[in-house]
Each structure stands twice: as C-alpha cells, then as structure tokens.
C-alpha cells in the first residue's frame, strides 16, 4: 500500500480531465473534502485516510479511459486493494485478463465477491474486541456458535464484517457466507426485489447457503435433499456462516437447533440486538459503547471526511459535550456530525442538550427529526423511497421518485453528507442503503406523521 502515490495519481487524473474536487466528488458521490484528503494522503494520529474499496472501483470506472490494466492494478494496489477478474473485465471488456487472475479458483472469486459486498468503513476503538472474537473463531474447537449482541447502531454488523475481512485472508475457513436475516441484504442483486424475499428460516437459509457456498445445483432438489446436501457440506469442511440481525427472524429460537446440528467444524457468527446469554453453548459477546477518546476520534474523522468544517475546528469542550449527550454510539455520533453540515454547531449542541435525558431510542428519534427538518423536498422524497430500494442502484431509486439527473444525484449526495444514506461497494455500480434505524424512523415516525388524519 502506498497512499501518497495513490493520492498523487488521483490528482494527476483529476486535473488532466479538468475536474474540480467538487465535480469529481459529485460523481462518486462523496464530499469534496474527501477527495482533497485522499489526494494529500491526509494523516490523523498516525493513521492515513484510505478510500474504501467501492470508492476505488468507482474512481477507476470514472478514469478508465486514461488507464490501462497495469495502471489499474498498480493504482488499486497503492490503495491496498486487488480487483477481481469480473471487476477487471467489466472495466476492460476487450482485454484478456492475465493468467494469474484467470486461474483464480471459484473459492477466490467467491471471496472477492463477498468482500466487495461488505461495508469497509474505518472502525474506531474495537481493536481488542476484534482480536478476542478472532481468536474464538480461529480456534478449531467449541464454541461453534458465536454471537455479537448490542443495541442498534452500536456496530455489530460492522464488527462482523471486519472479522470476515480478516479471516478471508487466511485459510482458516474453506468459504465464508453472509446472510442477513433482514430483507435488506448485501447480496440482493436487484434492490427492488429484495423486499419480496421471504423471512429467514431453516429453508431459506439452506437455499442462501447452498448458493453462496458454491452448490447451486442442489437448489433444484427437494427440500429434504437440499437439507441433507447442506448438512453434508457443512460437516465436511470448516465454513464460516454469518447471520446478521438474527433477532429479526420471527421465532429465531427455532432456528438455533438447526444451527447446532450444522455446526462443527463449521462455525456460525450471529449478530443480534437481543442477547443470547441464555444459551449455554453460544459464546456471547456484548458490544459496548465507544470510550470517550474513541468517540472523539470518530467525531474528528467523520467531521473531516464529511467536510463538516465547523466540527473539525470545534474545541475539545464542544466535542466532549456531544459525547456527553450522545454517548459512544457510533451511528448516533455519525448522524450528529452530518447535522453540523447544515446547522450551526452551537444549535446542534443546544438541541442535543434537550435530548440529554432521553433513552437511546428516543435520542435516535430526536436526532432523525432534526435531520429530517434539515432536508429539502428532494432529499425527503429520496429518503422516503429508500425502504423500497434497499441496496438499489441510481436507476432503482430514480424509478421510485420524480427526480432525475443532477436533482437526484444532489439529493443522494445530501443524504450521504448527513449520514442518512450509505453507499456500499458493488462489483458493478454504487448501491445505496439506509441503516435499519433510519428505516424504522421513516416507517414509524414520518409515515405516521404524513398519514392523513
């Protein structure tokens, strides 16, 4: 990895096209400050800002005309990534992929597809937690079922994704599969169909795993044959199966006996808002809030990448007062940073003081209402359709709104700036999703408020 050289190349490519940082930022979309940070390989507390994988893929698509395959490989390596065969062929359809890449096995291709779909955000203050869980997952003995629990937005899915990233680069597991018990899936190829997916139970989990673990032929068999096939597969070699949001499975207790049977040598990593401490054989790890110093580091980082200049120059006392109200909940902190883009910092702080005594759920509702009021009509319209377009592309979202062209991209950019919308990696194009808590707010609060009396 060589981030200064990556940044230099980015600046060269951008200026050769006559693009301003803001113009390039709009195409990704990210904030213009982030382009500047990447170009300068900006450092903070000894850590250098690194674009996530989705951003690198997007940059390559934007500058594809000015790059050849060697440039692409060198540039992505400078950012610490390596593109898969499918990705390269997408960008350079007429080129033959070099033999070291075309000889990739189905396992390596599946792995890079999985990693491209998972969020890859910079995480603060969870080094020890990550280490501890990694050891538990690496050991080839019980516990076979490992759970991360904690309140919404605390970082369970992010921690699980970080573990998957680490373990995918080792040969500990034959393959890794990720299923989200919630319909908004990282793997939904078409966001709009995602809502029609059935809720997770042993039958749908079987199908999803057979598909991800490279046994799609078994999918055409009877349910009993599929179950037997999956059982044989998971018992033969060690796989890692992640089930995200287990608590959203209606009656998840009935799924646990199936997981117990499938486990060993395969391991299951579960995330859940409910604790599973009652189950003796499940190793439970409760994710706690970030410490004050980690929360402040997250605030500074987010302020920097979202271009929240007022917050970036806030005094330590002002930052500490945000922590006093919001605590160390990463999602809440990110949302507050977003608000400082549109409201004066003092007002955000005053508003937060009013919420000081509230429970975390109420605090979220409060923060979301603030954000909602800061949005213009296009932003609100776009946000409201997101529950129907989870994981959707620009085209999906455009089909659900009256907005097109720059109106839509500006609305998306505004939502990203406010941390209301997350852009996730995809092999082909950016996909957008809202956090589950944002979705809950839209469906429970805004929809109620908008309904006719």
Ligand X SMILES: Nc1ncnc2c1ncn2[C@@H]1O[C@H](COP(=O)(O)OP(=O)(O)OP(=O)(O)O)[C@@H](O)[C@H]1O
Residue 330 binds ligand X (CB under 6 A): yes
Query: In this complex, which beta carbon is closest to ligand X, that of residue 159 or of residue 205?
Result: 159
- The tally of CA atoms less than 13 A away on the side-chain side of residue 325 is 23
| Token digits of residue 319 | 């930052």
Residues 382/412, Cβ–Cβ less than 8 Å: yes
Residues 4/75, Cβ–Cβ less than 8 Å: no
Query: In this complex, which beta carbon is closest to Mg ion, that of residue 157 or of residue 183?
Result: 157
Query: In this complex, which beta carbon is closest to ligand X, that of residue 153 or of residue 191?
Result: 153
Query: In this complex, which beta carbon is closest to ligand X, that of residue 160 or of residue 259?
Result: 160
Query: In this complex, which beta carbon is closest to ligand X, that of residue 159 or of residue 263?
Result: 159
Residue 121 binds ligand X (CB under 6 A): yes
Residues 413/421, Cβ–Cβ less than 8 Å: no
- The residue at minimum Cβ distance from Mg ion is 157
- Kindly state the smallest distance separating residue 165's Cβ from Mg ion, in Å: 16
Q: Which of 35, 114, 154, 418 binds ligand X (CB under 6 A)?
A: 154
Query: In this complex, which beta carbon is closest to ligand X, that of residue 39 or of residue 185?
Result: 185
Residue 180 binds ligand X (CB under 6 A): no
Site for ligand X, residues 76 to 115, rule: CB under 6 A: none
Site for ligand X, residues 205 to 264, rule: CB under 6 A: 245
Q: Which partner, ligand X, Mg ion, none, binds residue 300 by CB below 5 to 8 Å per kind?
A: none
Residue 126 binds ligand X (CB under 6 A): yes
Residue 50 binds ligand X (CB under 6 A): no
Query: In this complex, which beta carbon is closest to ligand X, that of residue 29 or of residue 330?
Result: 330
Q: CA 243 → CA 58, 136, 200, 266, distances in Å?
A: 28, 17, 10, 13
Binding mask 396-435 for ligand X (x = CB under 6 A): ---------------------------------------x
- Kindly state the smallest distance separating residue 366's Cβ from ligand X, in Å: 17
Q: Among the candidate windows 100-108, 122-130, 138-146, 370-378, which touches ligand X by CB under 6 A?
A: 122-130
Task: State the Cα torsion 284-107-115-158 to the nearest 10°.
Answer: 0
Residue 143 binds ligand X (CB under 6 A): no
Residue 118 binds ligand X (CB under 6 A): no
- Angle at CA 433, nearest 5°, toward 430 and 436? 160
Q: Which of 267, 334, 396, 431 binds ligand X (CB under 6 A)?
A: 334
- CA–CA dist 177, 308 (Å, integer): 37
What's the chain's length in residues? 453
- The tally of CA atoms less than 13 A away on the side-chain side of residue 36 is 10
Query: In this complex, which beta carbon is closest to ligand X, that of residue 9 or of residue 53?
Result: 53
Would you tell me how many other CB atoms lie within 10 Å of the CB of residue 451?
7
Q: Among the candidate windows 81-89, 117-125, 169-177, 348-356, which touches ligand X by CB under 6 A?
A: 117-125
Residues at the contact surface with ligand X, assessed by CB under 6 A: 121, 123-126, 150, 152-158, 245, 271, 273, 298, 330-331, 334, 435-437
């Amino acid at each position: 990895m060589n981030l200064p050289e990556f940044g230099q190349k980015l600046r060269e490519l951008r200026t050769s096209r006559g693009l301003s940082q803001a113009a390039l930022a709009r195409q990704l979309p990210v904030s213009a400050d982030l382009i500047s940070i990447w170009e300068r390989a900006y450092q903070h507390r000894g850590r250098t800002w690194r674009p996530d994988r989705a951003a690198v893929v997007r940059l390559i698509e934007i500058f594809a005309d000015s790059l050849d395959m060697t440039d692409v490989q060198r540039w992505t390596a400078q950012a610490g990534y390596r593109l898969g065969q499918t990705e390269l062929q997408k960008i350079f359809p007429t080129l033959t992929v070099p033999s070291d890449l075309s000889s990739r096995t189905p396992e390596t291709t599946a792995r890079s597809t999985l990693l491209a779909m998972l969020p890859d955000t910079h995480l603060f203050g969870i080094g020890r937690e990550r280490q501890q869980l990694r050891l538990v997952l690496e050991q080839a003995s019980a516990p076979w079922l490992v759970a991360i629990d904690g309140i919404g937005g605390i970082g369970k899915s992010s921690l699980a994704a970080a573990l998957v990233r680490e373990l995918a680069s080792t040969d500990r597991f034959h393959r890794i599969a990720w299923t989200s018990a919630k319909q908004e899936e990282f793997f939904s190829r078409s966001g709009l169909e995602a809502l029609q997916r059935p809720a997770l139970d042993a039958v749908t989990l079987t199908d999803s795993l057979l598909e991800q673990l490279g046994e799609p032929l078994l999918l055409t068999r009877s349910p009993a044959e599929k179950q037997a096939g999956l059982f044989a597969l998971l018992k033969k070699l060690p796989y890692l199966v992640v089930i995200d949001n287990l608590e959203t499975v209606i009656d998840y207790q009935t799924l646990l006996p199936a997981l117990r049977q499938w486990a060993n040598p395969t391991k299951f990593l579960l995330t859940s808002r409910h604790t599973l401490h009652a189950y003796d054989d499940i190793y439970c790890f409760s994710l706690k809030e970030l410490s004050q110093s980690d929360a402040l580091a997250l605030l500074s980082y987010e302020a920097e990448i979202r271009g929240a200049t007022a917050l970036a120059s806030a005094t330590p006392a002002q930052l500490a007062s945000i922590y006093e109200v919001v605590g160390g909940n990463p999602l809440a902190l990110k949302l507050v940073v977003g608000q400082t883009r549109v409201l004066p910092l003092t007002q955000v702080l005053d508003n937060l003081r009013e919420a000081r005594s509230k429970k975390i759920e109420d605090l979220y509702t409060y923060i979301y209402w603030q954000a909602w009021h800061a949005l213009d009509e296009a932003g609100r319209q776009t946000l409201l359709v997101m529950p129907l377009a989870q994981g959707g592309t620009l085209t999906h979202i455009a089909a659900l709104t009256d907005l097109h062209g720059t109106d839509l991209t500006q609305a998306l950019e505004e939502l990203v700036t406010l941390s209301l919308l997350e852009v996730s990696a995809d092999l082909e194009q950016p996909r957008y999703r809202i956090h589950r808590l944002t979705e809950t707010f839209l469906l429970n609060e805004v929809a109620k408020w908008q309904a006719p009396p």
